[in-house]
C-alpha cells in the first residue's frame, strides 16, 4: 500500500519501478496507490505498468476520505513510504504503524524518528530501487519478521503518539504558556 500524493517527490516512481521488478518474480504481489494524482508521474507510471503487462495488478484509488483510510490499511500486508523529499513527520508512516502494519520508509527527514530508527519499521535509502526491492523481498519471505515488526509498530505508536501520551504533554505545554 502507498498512501500519498502521486508525484515524483513522494517517491512514487521509485515504488513503481520496484514493484515492476518484484511483480515479475512474484505473481501474487499487488499494489494499491491511494492519493491524488498530480503531475506527469501518474501517466509515466501507468505507461510503464502497461508496457510490462502489470497494469491489472496496481489499483489507483485517487483521493479518498480520511474515514476510508483504515479500510485500505486493514487490507494490506505492507505500507511503503518512499519519499524523496524532506518530511518533518510522516502521517502515512504513523497511520501504518497505528494500524499495526509493517512500514518500509525512506531514511529521510523525520521519518527515521517516526519509525524509531528502524525498530518499529524498516528504512531504505531514498530513491534506491535496489535497496527498496531488497527490503520488500525480505519481508515477503519472512512472515514472522513481518508480524514482529507489525507488533513493534503498534506498540511504538501507542507508547509515543497516542492521545493518552501526547494529551498530558500538550496540556502541560499550554499551561506553561499561560503561567
* Contact residues for 15 (Cβ-Cβ < 8 A; gap 6+): 2, 31, 80, 82, 132
* Number of Cβ atoms within 10 Å of the Cβ of 172: 9
Give the span between the Cα atoms of 74 and 140, in whole angstroms.
17
The 10s digit of each residue's pLDDT in 23-56 is: 999 999 999 999 987 778 999 999 999 999 999 9
* Number of Cβ atoms within 10 Å of the Cβ of 2: 25
Give the span between the Cα atoms of 11 and 141, in whole angstroms.
24
pTM over the 0.75 mark: yes
Mean pLDDT for the chain?
95
97 is written with which cell numbers?
A: 504503524
Q: Which of 23, 57, 37 is nearest to 140 (CA)?
A: 23
Strand locations in 7-130, DSSP E?
31-34, 58-62, 79-81, 103-106, 122-124
The 10s digit of each residue's pLDDT in 76-113 is: 999 999 999 998 899 999 999 999 999 999 999 999 99
Amino acid at each position: 500500500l502507498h498512501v500519498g500524493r502521486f508525484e515524483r517527490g513522494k517517491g512514487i516512481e521509485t515504488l513503481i519501478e520496484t514493484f515492476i521488478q518484484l511483480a515479475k518474480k512474484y505473481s501474487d504481489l499487488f499494489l494499491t496507490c491511494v492519493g491524488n494524482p498530480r503531475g506527469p508521474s501518474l501517466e509515466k507510471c501507468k505507461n510503464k505498468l502497461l508496457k510490462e503487462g502489470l497494469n491489472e495488478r496496481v489499483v489507483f484509488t485517487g483521493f479518498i476520505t480520511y474515514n476510508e483510510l483504515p479500510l485500505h490499511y486493514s487490507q494490506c500486508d505492507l505500507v511503503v513510504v518512499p519519499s524523496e523529499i524532506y518530511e518533518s513527520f510522516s502521517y502515512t508512516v504513523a497511520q501504518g504503524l497505528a494500524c499495526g502494519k509493517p512500514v518500509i520508509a525512506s531514511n529521510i527527514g523525520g521519518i527515521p524518528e517516526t519509525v524509531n530508527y528502524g525498530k518499529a519499521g524498516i528504512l531504505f535509502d531514498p530513491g534506491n530501487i535496489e535497496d527498496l526491492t531488497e527490503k520488500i523481498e525480505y519481508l515477503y519471505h519472512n512472515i514472522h519478521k513481518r508480524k514482529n515488526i507489525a507488533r513493534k509498530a503498534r506498540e511504538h505508536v501507542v507508547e509515543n503518539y497516542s492521545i493518552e501520551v501526547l494529551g498530558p504533554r500538550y496540556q502541560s505545554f499550554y499551561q506553561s504558556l499561560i503561567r
